[in-house]
Structure formats: structure tokens, C-alpha cells
């Protein structure tokens, strides 16, 4: 086996098969992947370089770094133009045009004169949306590790802490449990350090990033999350911290408060229970073949019945989705949003996060990561769902 490939041969074969089926449907003759997430999916490791996968024939690999991965089909290169020296191709070549910079895409286009360049970003997103049993196992492992951290959260809090001091304890606990810290997001516009801890009204501060919740952050260079707010009785702390323990992420949110949760604003308690109910309803409804937007509508209907629209998915600023696929990256397919055309498929990994922001109290609600099996959704993030006391 090629020392570059860091996957069991069967697993690698399975992923190639899925990819080639999609290539065949799309009429693409060969693809070239270079995005770290796509390389990790394809090779089982991140390299600086390119994976070339023809619809027929053997894949070839063009490596800049690291040194030392010589093997069949591996070529060391210093410039992407050298790829063309090793390849005979007519027809269509798929590139990650939603991710590759314009400049790099043009360089590659010029390196393959006479070849038609097509965009395979949607195809690659699709190929990663269905997780193999091997990938599901890695996600389960992340879920178990993340759950261990979450169960222990009340013990990480001391009276008088700010949100950021509390977050630092959560970061440390996560890292000691094996969290890689890396928070992979497709595209370059979203940024977050390790997770989002929102205390009190900071949850209502709009952020530029397309996450379900906002927060001011510590600096306008990274305006999201904890901002130094003192954690107070009568207010909530929402914890949504990094679940990447295996290269595959789980996403879990839980809500906490100092003191007795029953003393919180009844509106917040009602909204929190509704979030749990929505997760359960989505989990019971989701099946392979269900339209993703229907899950959104189910949730929106429950919120409307409860009269809580004003607070749903944010208050001053609202997110346009209640859930998202995830795995190697936090924003994979399917998207659970009103206009999503995605259809749920067996093997999807989906985070559902129906959250509310109650002014004066803070954010409430939960988020779970589910694997979609033939018989329904299975939660792999199983820390207690109720609002837990930090005291």
C-alpha cells in the first residue's frame, strides 16, 4: 500500500467508489483536490499537495510537503504546473472552484490547455455528506469524549468568574481530554477560537459570522463569543465548545446557570424545554428521504405554537438555519434551513440546534449531533439536556 494513504484499503476503496459514482453522474473525467478537508477525506491525512483521481485508472498524488511519503503514484512537485507533466487527460477536469482562489484556479486551468474545467465543490460536499461506518465511528468517539467534558462542566466553575475565565477552564478540560482544538470551517469567512461561551445578554450581540449564536468577543478582530461578562445568578451560560477529538467533529450545546435553574425567568425555562422538544421531534421525524426544509418547518411550527418566534435563533439578529451537517468540517451537508433543497440520507451526520435568546437572561437551548440510520436519528452527544446549576 502507498505510504501516503492513511486509511484502511477497504475504507479508501469505499470513499473512492462514492466519489467515482458522483463523478460518473456529473460526467467528470478526473478531479484534483487540494483543500485540506478534502485531502483528509481522501487520503486520511493532510498534506500540502494534490490528489488526482481519474474516473478510471489509478489515482496519483502530487506532494509539496511533508518529505518522505514516496510510493506508487506519488510525485514530489514544487509548483502545481508540474502536475500536468505526469497526466494525460482530455475531457473534463474537476477543481474545487468554490474553495480554490481565482489565481490558483487560473494557474491550473492554464496548465491543462484543451481540458474543460468544471466545478466539483458541490460534488465533493455531497461525497462527504454520507459518512461511512468508519467515519461514524470516529464521530462517535468524538461524541463520547465531548460528553465526558460536558458532564464535568459544573465542576469547572467558581463564583465570580467571567465568561472568558470559565471558557479557559473549558478549553483546558477539553484539551486534556484529547480535543485537537482545530475547528474546521469550509471557506475562509468564519472564524472562532475553540468554541462559543455566551453569558447573559452578550448572547444578544450580533456577530458577523454565520453561526447560530453571536456574542461580542474580546476584540473587534474576532467579534464572536465571550466578551468578559461576569457570570451572574438569574442569567444563563450557553456552552458550545469544540468537539474535534478525531479529525471528525461533534457539536453539542448545553445551558448552565449559577444558582437554581428554577429561579430563571419562566420564559427562558419554557424556551429551553421547547428546544429539547424540537430536538426530540426532529430526531423522531428525520428519516432517509425526508426533505431538510421540512425539519426546519417542523421546528418553526413548534416555536410559533409556543409564541416564541421573537427569541428563536437569536433576538437582535437571527440565524437562518436550525441545523447543519458536520464531520471533518462544521458546515457540511445537509443544511436544515427553510429553503434548503437537501434530502436526508442514511449516513448523514447532523447537528440540530434550536436555540433562543431571552433578553435579560441570555441564551437557552441545546444542540445535539445525530447520525441518521435507516431507522432514524441517533444522538451521539448525550450529556444531560436540562439547564444545569453551576453551583
When asked if residue 182 is in the footprint of a copy of itself (CB under 8 A), the reply is yes
When asked if residue 102 is in the footprint of a copy of itself (CB under 8 A), the reply is yes
164/308 with CB nearer a copy of itself: 164
Q: In what order do the strands lie in the sheet with 116-119?
A: 74-76, 60-65, 48-54, 30-33, 92-95, 116-119
Strands 368-373, 362-365: pairing is: unpaired
Of 183, 369, 139, 353, the C-alpha closest to 255 is 353
CA 224, CA 241: separation in Å to the nearest integer?
Answer: 13
What nine digits make up the cell of 289? 428521504
Of 215, 236, 204, 272, the C-alpha closest to 361 is 236
Site pattern 333..372 for a copy of itself (x: CB under 8 A): ----------------------------------------
- Interface residue with a copy of itself, options 151, 175, 270, 287 (CB under 8 A): 175
- Interface residue with a copy of itself, options 146, 207, 293, 348 (CB under 8 A): 207
Stretch that binds a copy of itself, among 51-59, 200-208, 256-264, 355-363 (CB under 8 A): 200-208
Q: Which residues pair with 325 in a beta bridge?
A: 332, 350
- Interface residue with a copy of itself, options 156, 237, 257, 328 (CB under 8 A): 328
When asked if residue 105 is in the footprint of a copy of itself (CB under 8 A), the reply is yes
How is 112-175 classified by DSSP, letter by letter? STTPEEEE-HHHHHHHHHB--HHHHHHHHHHHHHHHHHHHTGGGG--TT-BHHHHHHHHHHHHH
When asked if residue 181 is in the footprint of a copy of itself (CB under 8 A), the reply is yes
What nine digits make up the cell of 213? 449564536
Cell numbers 479508501 correspond to what residue? 12
What nine digits make up the cell of 165? 475565565
Site pattern 248..287 for a copy of itself (x: CB under 8 A): ----------------------------------------
When asked if residue 210 is in the footprint of a copy of itself (CB under 8 A), the reply is yes
- Interface residue with a copy of itself, options 219, 305, 374, 375 (CB under 8 A): 219
When asked if residue 121 is in the footprint of a copy of itself (CB under 8 A), the reply is yes
Stretch that binds a copy of itself, among 23-31, 152-160, 165-173, 302-310 (CB under 8 A): 165-173
What nine digits make up the cell of 295? 425539519
Judged by the rule CB under 8 A, the positions of this chain that interact with a copy of itself are: 6, 34-36, 40, 44-49, 64-68, 95, 97-106, 119, 121, 164-165, 167-168, 171-172, 175-176, 178, 180-182, 184, 187-189, 191, 193-194, 205-210, 214, 218-223, 244, 246-247, 316-317, 328
Amino acid at each position: 500500500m502507498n505510504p501516503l494513504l492513511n486509511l484502511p484499503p477497504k475504507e479508501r476503496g469505499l470513499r473512492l467508489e462514492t466519489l467515482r459514482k458522483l463523478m460518473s453522474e456529473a460526467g467528470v473525467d478526473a478531479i484534483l483536490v487540494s483543500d485540506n478537508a478534502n485531502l483528509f477525506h481522501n487520503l486520511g491525512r493532510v498534506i500540502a499537495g494534490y490528489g488526482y483521481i481519474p474516473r478510471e485508472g489509478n489515482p496519483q498524488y502530487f506532494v509539496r510537503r511533508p518529505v518522505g511519503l514516496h510510493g506508487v503514484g506519488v510525485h514530489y512537485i514544487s509548483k502545481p504546473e508540474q502536475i500536468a507533466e505526469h497526466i494525460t487527460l482530455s475531457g473534463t477536469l474537476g477543481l474545487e472552484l468554490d474553495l480554490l482562489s481565482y489565481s490558483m484556479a487560473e494557474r491550473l486551468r492554464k496548465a491543462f490547455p484543451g481540458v474543460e474545467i468544471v466545478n466539483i465543490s458541490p460534488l465533493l460536499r455531497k461525497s462527504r455528506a454520507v459518512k461511512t461506518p468508519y467515519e461514524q465511528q470516529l464521530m462517535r468517539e468524538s461524541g463520547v469524549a465531548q460528553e465526558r467534558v460536558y458532564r464535568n462542566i459544573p465542576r469547572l466553575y467558581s463564583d465570580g468568574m467571567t465568561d472568558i475565565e470559565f471558557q479557559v477552564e473549558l478549553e483546558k478540560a477539553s484539551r486534556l481530554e484529547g480535543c485537537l482544538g482545530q475547528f474546521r470551517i469550509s471557506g475562509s469567512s468564519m472564524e472562532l477560537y475553540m468554541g462559543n461561551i455566551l453569558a447573559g445578554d452578550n448572547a444578544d450581540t450580533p456577530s458577523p459570522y454565520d453561526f447560530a449564536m453571536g456574542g461580542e468577543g474580546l476584540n473587534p478582530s474576532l467579534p464572536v463569543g465571550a466578551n468578559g461578562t461576569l457570570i451572574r445568578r438569574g442569567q444563563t451560560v450557553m456552552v458550545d465548545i469544540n468537539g474535534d477529538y478525531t479529525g471528525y467533529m461533534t457539536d453539542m450545546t448545553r445551558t448552565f446557570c449559577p444558582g437554581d435553574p428554577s429561579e430563571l425567568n419562566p420564559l427562558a425555562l419554557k424556551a429551553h424545554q421547547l428546544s429539547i422538544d424540537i430536538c426530540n421531534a426532529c430526531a423522531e421525524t428525520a428519516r432517509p428521504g425526508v426533505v431538510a426544509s421540512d425539519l426546519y418547518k417542523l421546528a418553526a411550527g413548534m416555536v410559533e405554537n409556543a409564541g416564541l418566534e421573537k427569541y428563536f435563533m437569536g433576538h437582535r439578529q437571527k440565524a437562518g438555519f436550525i441545523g447543519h451537517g458536520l464531520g471533518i468540517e462544521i458546515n457540511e451537508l445537509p443544511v436544515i434551513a427553510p429553503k434548503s433543497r437537501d434530502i436526508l440520507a442514511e449516513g448523514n451526520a447532523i447537528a440540530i440546534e434550536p436555540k433562543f435568546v431571552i433578553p435579560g437572561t441570555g441564551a437557552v437551548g441545546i444542540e445535539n449531533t445525530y447520525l441518521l440510520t435507516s431507522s432514524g436519528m441517533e444522538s451521539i452527544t448525550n450529556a444531560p439536556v436540562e439547564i444545569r446549576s453551576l453551583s
